[in-house]
Amino acid sequence: MTDEGVVVYWRPLCTYCLKLFLWLPFTRLRYTRVNIWKNPDAAAFVRSVADGNETVPTVTVAGRPLVNPSRKQLLEAVAAYAPHTRPRTE
List, for residues 33-54, the tens digit of each pLDDT value.
999 999 999 999 999 999 999 9
List, for residues 56-73, the tens digit of each pLDDT value.
999 999 999 999 999 999
Per-residue pLDDT, 85: 84
Does residue 44 belong to any structural domain of this protein? yes
Strand order in the sheet with 31-35: 31-35, 6-10, 58-61, 64-67
Q: How many domains does the chain have?
A: 1
Select from 14, 15, 4, 9 the least CA-distant residue to 67: 9
Find the domain containing 73 and state its range: 6-84
Does residue 49 belong to any structural domain of this protein? yes
Does residue 34 belong to any structural domain of this protein? yes
* Contact between residue 54 and residue 47 where contact means Cβ atoms under 8 Å apart: yes
Per-residue pLDDT, 84: 85
Does residue 42 belong to any structural domain of this protein? yes
Select from 89, 88, 57, 87 the least CA-distant residue to 73: 57
Q: Kindly report the CATH number assigned to the domain that includes residue 29.
A: 3.40.30.10
Per-residue pLDDT, 47: 98
